[in-house]
Amino acid sequence: MQTFKQYISEGRSTGEDMEEAIVGVWNGTYDTEYMRQGAEKVVEFLKMKGVTGKAEVLGASQLQVSSKWSEYWKPDKVPAATKTPKTDIKIGRYKISLKSGPSAQLMSGGRNESRATFYTAVDKVGVVEDKFVKPLEDMVNNLAPSSVAASNLDQAIKDAKDKAVMTANAAHKLFKTDLQSYFNTNPDFADAFAYEAMSGEVKFGGNEGTADWFLTTSWDGNKVNFVPTSDKDYVSHVARKMNPSVRFKTTSVKKRGVKTGEYRYWSVVGLIVNKLDEGFAPYEGQVLTEGILDKVKGMIRGLVSFVKKLFLKIKRFVKKSYRNLIEFLEFEPEMSVNTNVKF
């Protein structure tokens, strides 16, 4: 199991030789015996499958990635090393990713590449399930105290603010665990991750770098498989071998005084605690009389109403996608994946 932090470039040695051999044999320009026998069998197999057209090698090229993919490198530019197309050879209209030998590397990348692939898969999982939204709603609502019934008002004020922060912190840790479990046991996420790794559909935006066929072959050409990258059963088969898994780390700084317009977990917590400060401020140091207690209760009712309205905005945002939920919770994904898959 390798992490995406380990930058591994896709080797172009014997794999590159097989690409050149297949294209050369196809075009009738291959003038060496090296890998000829295996390449000839692959060419014969592809022609039996109805593949036609002129062949060319694309695997050594560097192609433009999509603007969506480029977002993960801003403010920097996408490095040339990550622009290697998923399409290794192109024959007519067939854009083919070739994997030669008993095993091959499906993808490589650093931190930004892993995040881009992760969020591409996340975007295909669908809308956020209520099992994540309801606990979030409960947590936000619980940040506002239900009542103040202490003889020592100053202590009640301190307890209310401390409880809000502790509640938020405990809930945040639980969300992290639950989300990790959700993605790591979700076959739809694994399939979407494998599909992007195989095809580069989003990375290259459908240009020549996006592979729409997957060709695997032994070096001698005796074992050849040719399937479209849209074949869901085959993608699931590859996904199980890749076994992608994610863990989240927290990137936020827990501070108050944050901008109120941002849909972020700790900014919301900070906003509510600030509201507690503002609401309680006129009563700090005062004796808890019946009149003051009535005013405090009125302030709490106002705070509860404010929190409920605030959550309606949060709910609309996070329910749109898991990407929004993850960004709201201020989590940073770290992926682990078996990049070297046996075929």
- Identity of residue 4: F
pLDDT at 288: 59
pLDDT at 340: 80
Complete DSSP assignment for 72-133: GGTTSPPPGGG---S--EEETTEEEEEEESSEEE-----HHHHHHHHHHHHHTT-SPPHHHH
Q: For the segment 148-207, what is each residue's pLDDT rounded down to a tens digit?
A: 555 566 676 677 778 888 888 999 999 999 999 999 999 999 999 999 999 999 999 999
pLDDT at 55: 97
pLDDT at 261: 45
Complete DSSP assignment for 1-26: -EETTS--PPP-SHHHHHHHHHHHHH
Query: How does residue 11 score in pLDDT terms, banded at 50, 70 and 90?
Result: very low
228 has a pLDDT exceeding 80:
yes
pLDDT at 180: 95
Sequence spans of domains, the chain: 10-123+200-245, 130-185+250-332
339 has a pLDDT exceeding 90:
no
pLDDT at 258: 43
- From the CB of residue 94, how many other CB atoms can be counted at a distance below 10 Å? 21
Dihedrals φ, ψ of 109, to 5°? 160, 160
- Give me the torsion for CA of 128, 134, 140, 143, rounded to 10°: -160
Query: How does residue 6 score in pLDDT terms, banded at 50, 70 and 90?
Result: very low
pTM of the entire structure? Answer: 0.84
7 has a pLDDT exceeding 60:
no
Q: For the segment 286-328, what is each residue's pLDDT rounded down to a tens digit?
A: 655 667 777 777 888 888 888 888 899 899 999 999 999 999 9
| Mean pLDDT, range 30-47, rounded to an integer | 94
Q: Which of 63, 55, 49 is nearest to 20 (CA)?
A: 55
| Rg (the chain; Cα; Å) | 28
Lowest average pLDDT, out of 17-21, 110-114, 121-125, 251-255, goes to 251-255
